[in-house]
Amino acid sequence: MKSNLLFLFAILLFSVSPAQAQRSAKKLKASAENYYKRDKYAEAYNLFAKYTRLKNPDAGIMLKMGISAYHTNRLPEAIRYFNTIISNEKKPDKSVYYVLARTYHQQRNFKEAIRNYKKYLETTKFDDQRREHIKDNILRCASGMNLSYVDERAVVENMGIKVNSAYDDIGPVLSPNYDNKLYFSSNREGSVGGKRNAEGYPDEQYGSYSYDIFSTIIINGEWNSTIPLPTLINSVRNERLLDFNDDGQVLFYYKGLKLSGGEVLVDSFSTEEKNELYTPKMNTPMTSTKGDESPYFFNDSTMLFSSNREGGIGGKDIYVSTRENGYWTVPKNLGITINSHYDEVSPFLSMDGRTLYFSSNRTESIGGMDIYRARYNDGKQGWETPENMAWPINSPSDDRDFRLSPNGLEGYYTSDRKSGNGGFDLFTAYFKSQLYEQSVTSNPLVFTQVPAYRKQQQSTGVVFESSDNFPAKSYPSTVNFPESATTVVEINPINYRDDDDILSTDNLEKINEVVQIMNEYPQLKIMLTAHSDGSDPVEFDLFFSIKRAEKVAAYLQSKGISSANIYLKGMGAVNPAAMQQIEGGSSAMAEKINRRIDFEIFNAAGLPLQIVNKGPVVSKFLKDERGVMYNQANKGLSYKVQIGSLAQRYKGSILLEYRQPLIESIFNDKNYKYTVGLFQNFYGAEQLRKELVARGLNDAFVVPYINGVRASMSDSKIYAAAYPDLLNFLAQTKQD
């Protein structure tokens, strides 16, 4: 009897009647709709997904799920929802074509985006409010197609999850006092005041976090966890750091209920950043009620900002004002060359006082806000036509808040591209060559002074007072593995002129030979080692090198080669195969030899193959002994010291201070491994490790290599019989 009662109870407990399921589905749908109409797309998507487990969604729900997927960076899912609606509905809602076009646009599938934008136009009347916007987007798609042929100026990377959140992270500003510190604003979880509604009142369910100001610093080569500024600055309102004064002892920041219309305040603190806080209003020519925003202070007497005040050219325009005799002049519109009938925001003026960066959503953009660069011509006393910075700096989303680092090698900015962590993320652009505008000063100092200066001096020109030089470096590598074989297979390196030349017709012939042999023998592995001729900025040389190797790796993977069998090394320009500087000057032939990617196939034991990994052919007159010595040191057993394993480029000077820096990875592994040094015995590497630990790199450790390939702990135990010095490594590792 007792067991029967328990059985009946279990049935009642776990059974859900159709009526209960109906009520549950109704609640889920209502809750999802409430989040959706408040633009809480992540919450809405999750609730809609639960709803569809109880009821088949109609076209309306699928449309909202697709839009929610779009806003939460699930573009393939969004496309599936939209295409399902179009396939199943005889007369689908016209907006489906619009959001489908937007999704393809975000994927840079410009042809499909244009096709669906036009489909939307075909289904709407001429008075439809979206028509002009869609026509503009079609022009932006065409611009995106044209800009795809422009050489990529930089390698761009997300600043990572230690900095970016699932919310909006905006407005990066480098510290003027510390070259390893950056400030930004974020409306992330934990911000002061919690979630609040549009009126500023607490609302834990539907509210949003306000923006607070945070800082982050580089530790052990990567941007580390973020720290909020004190609550005397951060509050329940929105705060955004705007800029610093010339000596870095005063910061200017915005505070307001919304991100516009508030106040610009001043905070003073020492260069050691031990805050002695004051928050008076700042005396500027900006008026928030006129729509003034995003100021940039070139110095204490020149500022630029964006505004949609009356009398402008289009939407938001860029203005300049100067401080003379203690007073700010009336803001002056920069004119029709810079400003358009669309929006121009977030100005940044380089150190030369002549090069302006800003963002605009004009139809020459790829999608939303794109970053542009314009130069002031002293002779013409006017601006040259702005140039789009193109992909990958720009995307089909909004790219703005751009700032150059003082050395002209890096750019920091904000983007809500769909590959990010959430809404807006912070990104870094590593430029392939130094931007000279950050390394020079002009006479007169800033473009606003040129007309008066030319009138007084009756002379033209800008006096550039700087020089630049970069140490030349490069590297060769040949790893030979003793393999028993019957068929001889020669593997040759490829050369490149620039990044777009890596997959040239000639190079693809050599790469396809590799594809053929590796598909025939799937156990084979390949090491792609990329070298440069020293023309890249020294800080980015390794990173750019491995990015070139990744282009080849992606092609190999597309042809069926497992990513687990593709090893990558970025050597930069450390051990040149050929001497680029000879008695007659520089050698073009040596530069060509050093710009290459070596292919080294290994793991052929037991196969009827003899793999010959051929290095570059160098005449005895050009051969560089550094490359020869590296190859000799790399044979058999060697050791290096790993200093970091990061998803981004390693920041800091360690890679520049120590010999034999290297970046390596297995293709599609999320992290790059950074090492320095090259030793034939363990104790030499151990001494370097201790030195690095003393400098604060507590996670540094020694890595053994066999013929240039990393040896795991189990590999080391096997190879110890052939290389007894590995016993020292194993003994020390056991102690640690």
Of the listed ranges 190-204, 322-336, 455-469, 638-652, the one predicted with least confidence: 455-469
Residue 342 or residue 24, greater confidence? 342
Cα three-residue angle 616-622-624, rounded to 5 degrees = 75
Cα three-residue angle 23-29-35, rounded to 5 degrees = 140
Give me the pLDDT at residue 581, please. Answer: 83
Residue 35 has pLDDT above 80, yes or no: yes
Q: What is the pLDDT of residues 548-599, one digit of tens each?
A: 999 999 999 999 999 999 999 999 999 899 998 887 778 889 999 999 999 9
Contacts 24+ apart (CB under 8 A), 707-713: 707/479, 707/480, 707/481, 707/602, 707/634, 707/635, 707/636, 708/477, 708/479, 708/527, 708/600, 708/634, 708/638, 709/479, 709/527, 709/567, 709/602, 710/664
Domain with CATH 1.25.40.10 in the chain: 21-147
CA dihedral (675, 679, 680, 685) positive or negative: negative
Question: Where are the alpha helices (H) located in 531-675, listed in sequence order?
Answer: 541-558, 588-594, 625-634, 654-657
| C-alpha count within 13 angstroms, C-beta hemisphere, residue 474 | 26
Residue 6 has pLDDT above 50, yes or no: no
Query: Cis ω on the peptide bond leading into residue 396 (within 30° of 0)?
Result: no
Give me the pLDDT at residue 735, please. Answer: 61
| Confidence class for position 263, pLDDT limits 50, 70, 90 | confident
CA dihedral (100, 105, 106, 108) positive or negative: positive
Domain with CATH 3.30.1330.60 in the chain: 487-735
Q: What is the pLDDT of residues 344-393, one digit of tens each?
A: 999 999 999 999 999 999 999 998 999 999 999 888 899 999 999 999 99
Give me the pLDDT at residue 262, please. Answer: 81
Q: Give helix then strand counts, H and E, for the chain.
A: 17, 36
Residue 141 has pLDDT above 90, yes or no: yes
| Confidence class for position 472, pLDDT limits 50, 70, 90 | very low
| SS3 (DSSP) at 354 | coil
The fold adopted by the segment(s) 487-735 is 60s Ribosomal Protein L30; Chain: A; (3.30.1330)
Q: Give 531's strand partners.
A: 572
| SS3 (DSSP) at 451 | helix
Percent of the chain with pLDDT over 90: 60
The matching CATH number, chosen from 1.10.10, 2.60.120, 1.10.1740, 2.120.10, for 157-457 is: 2.120.10
Note whether 197 and 179 are within 8 A (CB): no
Q: What is the pLDDT of residues 655-714, one digit of tens each?
A: 999 999 999 999 988 899 999 999 999 999 999 999 999 999 999 999 999 999 999 888
Give me the pLDDT at residue 260, please. Answer: 77
Closest-CA residue to 635 (of 722, 533, 531): 722
Domain with CATH 2.120.10 in the chain: 157-457
Give me the pLDDT at residue 20, please. Answer: 63
Percent of the chain with pLDDT over 70: 91
| SS3 (DSSP) at 1 | coil
Closest-CA residue to 302 (of 328, 326, 283, 275): 328
The burial of 653, by beta-carbon neighbours within 10 Å (0-12 exposed, 13-18 middle, 19 or more buried), is given as: exposed
What is each CA distance from 73 to 65, 141, 166, 361, 422, in whole angstroms? 12, 20, 11, 21, 7
Q: What is the pLDDT of residues 219-254, one digit of tens each?
A: 888 898 899 998 889 999 999 998 888 888 888 888
Stretch 188-192: mean pLDDT: 91
What is the reported pTM?
0.82
Residue 139 CB neighbours (<10 A): 15
Domain 21-147: state its class: mainly alpha
Residue 14 has pLDDT above 50, yes or no: no
Q: What is the pLDDT of residues 401-430, one digit of tens each?
A: 999 999 999 999 999 999 888 889 999 999
Give me the pLDDT at residue 486, please. Answer: 61
| Confidence class for position 278, pLDDT limits 50, 70, 90 | very low
Stretch 87-101: mean pLDDT: 93
Give me the pLDDT at residue 17, please. Answer: 57
Q: What is the pLDDT of residues 126-138, one digit of tens each?
A: 888 899 999 999 9
Q: For the chain, what is the mean pLDDT?
A: 87
- What is the C-alpha to C-alpha distance for residues 11 and 63, in angstroms, rounded to an integer? 37
Give me the pLDDT at residue 81, please. Answer: 95
Note whether 270 and 225 are within 8 A (CB): no
- What is the C-alpha to C-alpha distance for residues 540 and 652, in angstroms, rounded to an integer? 11
Stretch 632-636: mean pLDDT: 89
